[in-house]
Structure 1
């Protein structure tokens, strides 16, 4: 396997990146990798930039559509038809478009907290109601509450569910049988499911993410969101490829997308997607997973040895970890005061992900090994000073 640069802290390069990088802190907050993306993508974008032409780019170019179709087949074992692919301006924008196309103001949109924080903004901005089906936490892993989900879906004002898989922030995968139950209930109660699968390429320990539309009862009642945003570190760009098997749903979605001023592909995203969805791109993903796996094992070993009261929740996807700090007996303010001011580490507060997130932290491990080791050293020293680590 080719050697890749996973030791450069991308944030610290001498370039105006427009980020809040602070050399005095170890920033583990946020979902973006702190590593450079795949060389094949960087090289393609340099060539594109040097061309001097950044004009209108058709959404149906064969090279682009074929790249998406072949990637889904080869990497995700996901057989799709070319006409199912609907380029859009970002996953959140696509979810917003779906909400506006298929629901009315004051309708309910079901989400399952703790869950990605920006779903709530998209829902409320569209003047819809957030409807919570909280996940059930059981000793370091989560389950869906199907009894409550059926109760919520049976209510006629709840028209849509946003299904996050892999689920952010818990960074776990929903099994095929669980997806079948969601699909059966959604079909029974006529609830449209928007499946956010943008973490699907970052899977660990031999697991895989079942594409939601491959569930027989889901195929004609879903919208599936895919992107290179998380997989290739393009979280600062607004681009996604939405997979919609059902023709009627697809036409209605496209009508709404175009009404919201969709024009053409961003020329740089055209180039990035074609370059990423390649043999070289998959080779980089595989190397990244191997590298991050070693980082994860270092983190688990550290917490097991020094902070056994902290539970690293079951992790099967994404370069982030979700940890339960509640047994330390600290309030959220006390916990993050310790992490930030004593240890010099930034993590995401669990409470921002909704009910059930209190006392948890989400943190990035897609970082250079040296940066991770420094973070753990800081945590150990600060923990000993504060008496948290004996």
Structure 2
């Protein structure tokens, strides 16, 4: 049975020759946008994903990707490991995006790609040499080293790469020599052989889709964008503040001033520590959704349990460049058409970064 193989998303790719690739898969709504809200006098960030589509802005963040490629990359953000924990809906979105790109075809002769690399697992493919090879590499860390499994490679029918694994070794930083990996490749026979079809290669060389002899689908990516790095960092909980700084720096290089966009935004990360009181967290906008309206109205909305919801409405007004004065003063616990008022008010200055 065919499966969708999902590798951990990674960053910091380097090119070995021309069109290189690095393996990555993850999942996120393709219509996402990101807002950075810095609350004055409180050192925190609040990051939300929007239900609104802004294709012009998104295309700017992914300048070397087509819209169909962006949909695939977004569908993959957040899926960790090899996809075993992915939901059926996530896999369905990935497979649908893969099928769209395969139907488009992309570069007609995709076998001419070479090399890839990313932070934990990557693949190198060298075909235009006297010793054509495919190598799968597991990089443990810069301090520890890596495991490299190599295969003899050849090309058939323009898009199929045939390979046979023949050697493997550890390269450890604390040892001056390589340590052979104890796998008897010669005794494995056909088990050490395989093939890989490249079914899609983007014109920009950023996205490659391949299918293996065991029915596995691989999506490989050369470049990651700052927004993509941030969403992946949030999904793993590692390097979030660094990814925020990088995306903010990228946004500051662009012309124009960011606007507080209308729509429903879901809270996905905050640097502000939550308190023991969920009511206080909800009133501070640290959970649930934030709804922005054109008429200067704002609402916090949090699902509680069994149909009960917390709702808090208020207003926002722009006071200076990128700065909004926010006043939230009408909270209630809601069930159906009934509401129980809560005595609570919160005010803050919001800076849109």
TM-score of the alignment, normalized to the shorter chain, above 0.5: no
TM-score normalised by length of structure 2: 0.26
Could you say which structure has the higher strand fraction? 2
TM-score normalised by length of structure 1: 0.24
- For the pair shown, which has the larger CA radius of gyration, 1 or 2? 2
